[in-house]
A and B are shown apart, each in its own frame.
Chain A
Amino acid sequence: RKEVEQDPGPFNVPEGATVAFNCTYSNSASQSFFWYRQDCRKEPKLLMSVYSSGNEDGRFTAQLNRASQYISLLIRDSKLSDSATYLCVVNPYDKIIFGKGTRLHILP
């Protein structure tokens, strides 16, 4: 099982729709979880941390399921500017492990 696994997509979604991504991780000792977004040829930027109880930031909701070892990201009312690659990031100890990312295209 890969350390962090994501569906690469692409997800082609009409503007205004809701879209969800999952990410699975293999190291049960992982303590911190994040979603980053990466635009083409740019550096990753933090979208949100993922907390055990789940958390919401505007149109974005993140969930963590430790028993099944996955995290999810839900984007509501998607905007054209949401088009990017979404990276799942898991942090066991001092090592940071990125998923390969899920590409999202929002269609006008």
Chain B
Amino acid sequence: EPEVTQTPSHQVTQMGQEVILRCVPISNHLYFYWYRQILGQKVEFLVSFYNNEISEKSEIFDDQFSVERPDGSNFTLKIRSTKLEDSAMYFCASIPSRGNNEQFFGPGTRLTVL
């Protein structure tokens, strides 16, 4: 069964460093999402992406964040200058088309900012 994959599974970085989290969505899916979940808190929507552009973003997704689909398979989330409060689990998800669709989640990347 096709699945969303994410790398790395765990990323440790120093405050102020840039990180890139990678996702490979399911191949025939067209809509892509990033979420984060701070330990013990709810899953928070960051951004949705369709047709090579952002379609919706939350207040969390400020200028520090960017997304890209550089090669038609990878979907990346970049955090330019990490802060301690960026420590969280970051989930990528995809759906085949807009509508009442199941979101297929990747296993997540645990980001730890020291």
Contact = CB atoms under 8 A, between A and B. Distances in A.
A95 B33 CA distance: 9
Given A43-B107, A93-B56, A95-B48, A87 B102 contact: no
A79 to B, nearest CB: 22
Contacts of B107: 42-43
Given A34-B102, A43-B108, A98-B42, 14 more contacts: A42-B108, A43-B91, A44-B105, A93-B56, A94-B55, A94-B56, A95-B45, A95-B56, A96-B45, A96-B48, A98-B44, A99-B42, A100-B42, A101-B42
A96 B33 contact: yes
A17 interface: no
21 contacts: A31-B100, A32-B99, A34-B102, A34-B103, A43-B91, A43-B105, A43-B106, A44-B105, A45-B105, A87-B43, A89-B103, A94-B31, A94-B56, A95-B45, A95-B56, A95-B58, A96-B33, A96-B35, A96-B45, A98-B43, A98-B44
A46 interface: yes
A100 B35 CA distance: 13
B109 to A, nearest CB: 11
A84 interface: no
A97 interface: yes
Interface residues of B, number: 24
A95 B56 CA distance: 6
Q: Give chain A's interface secondary structure class.
A: loop
A49 interface: yes
Nearest to B57: A95
> Nearest 6 pairs between A and B by C-beta?
A94-B56, A43-B105, A100-B42, A98-B43, A46-B102, A94-B48
Contacts of A94: 31, 48, 50, 55-56, 98
